[in-house]
Amino acid sequence: MPNPFAPLQPALQILATEARVLPATGQAIVDMVSPDLEEAYDRAAGGRDEKVTSVWETRRKLYHDVTPIPRRQEHRLRYFLDGSAKVYFIGTLLERERSSPVQLGQIGAAAVYREDDGRVRRAAVEHKILLLMDQKALSEQLWQAVEQTVAGTPNILLRSTNDSKDRFSEALGVIEPRSRGAHRANWAMRELEVALAREGLKRDQDDWLVLDGALGTEYMDWNGLPLIGVAKSFRRDTLFDLGSGPRATQMNLYSMLAGLQVNQRTAVFPRWPAQEREGAIVFWYVRIRPQRGLDYPLMGVVKVELPNPGRQPVDSDLVDRISGWIMAERCVTPHGRDNRWHAHLYAISLAERVIKDRFYTEEVLKAAIRWPQIGVQL
């Protein structure tokens, strides 16, 4: 097999020639993001303090009974999209008094399509390799030289770890350069997901797309395939202050979900309350597994988000149907393979498997990435 990372060698040659390189011991070390990224971004997208004071649907009550709607009855959830990212630290670059970690990332997004008979096929896949450095810590000449070197290879992207577009790092206030690199790669993965959802799938007005995770502001004025975001992890500090007078309801998320039974959904609420964009995306919670046997109230629950460009109250019957479709997806789960198995949708896990199967293994990466000897000596 030809070396898939061979196009990176000229860029590494420039770095080793124009600056001093301290290679990572063992050639590559995996860099992880922490804490849970989806929960952090959900918090960032909703604001510092998310306090919900209104219901955003036509039928006003806190809990709604929902009947699961299996595929043989109504098959509308057709596309399922997920992404993945993996980041490796491969060395430290020293340029006079400046220094920057050098990281290599693999990012990808994949969508699968489910046929009427239940068979799932790959619909679209995007896979990119990232070269990550702190642009602000390096000279403009060095950065531009590397940028020109990788410009002719479309599957290799140069990204700065110090980039204001990286909403994940901004959400968590991440400062440490290597940590910012891991978060920057995950944000680049999210950008791939959005592009694939917007332009990479065949449109049919009867087909719906399910995205793994919260939607965020990228989907505020959505005009593509009908879609929902289904989040297994979400912010837990949301407060609900609904109604007034003797019928007022005040509770936190834990108390709300403790009262949510299997085959029920909560009311629909607006994102970004008390702002101009209030209601542009709405959300609700669905319990897809009974609480018995689970550790705490948030287990067995998914958060569903829906773009709402008109910003008007959502039809409650439509929300019931969407919730029924989701409940019918709970049957097969990756128990033992993912600690969020209780909130997993099977087709989403298939999309995740598609993209991870495209990733090169750590062994391939270590064998393929070699720093030139010049500039390595201390």
Reported as a single tens digit per residue, the pLDDT across 338-363 is 566 666 688 888 898 899 899 998 88
Peptide bond preceding 68: is omega within 30 degrees of 0, i.e. cis?
no
Reported as a single tens digit per residue, the pLDDT across 137-150 is 999 999 999 999 99
Q: Are 150 and 133 in contact (CB under 8 A)?
A: no
Highest mean pLDDT among 22-26, 182-186, 272-276: 182-186
Does residue 136 carry a pLDDT above 80? yes
Does residue 32 carry a pLDDT above 60? no
Model pLDDT, residue 47: 58
Q: Helix or strand or coil: residue 113?
A: strand
Model pLDDT, residue 377: 40
Q: Are 187 and 161 in contact (CB under 8 A)?
A: no
* Prediction pTM value: 0.87
Question: Residue 320: what residue type?
Answer: D
Task: Work out the average pLDDT over 82-100.
Answer: 91
Reported as a single tens digit per residue, the pLDDT across 33-73 is 555 667 766 766 665 567 888 899 999 899 999 999 999 99
Phi-psi region of 331 (alpha: psi -120 to 50; beta: other; left: phi over 0): alpha
Model pLDDT, residue 1: 66
C-alpha 213/C-alpha 216 separation (Å) is 9
C-alpha 312/C-alpha 308 separation (Å) is 7
Model pLDDT, residue 375: 41
Please tell me the least confidently modeled range out of 35-49, 186-200, 362-376. Answer: 35-49
Reported as a single tens digit per residue, the pLDDT across 217-269 is 889 889 889 999 999 888 888 899 888 777 788 899 989 998 999 999 999 99
Reported as a single tens digit per residue, the pLDDT across 19-30 is 888 787 555 666
**Which has more confidence, 105 or 38?**
105
Length of the chain: 378
Q: Are 214 and 303 in contact (CB under 8 A)?
A: yes
Residues 6+ apart with CB under 8 A from 315: 57, 58
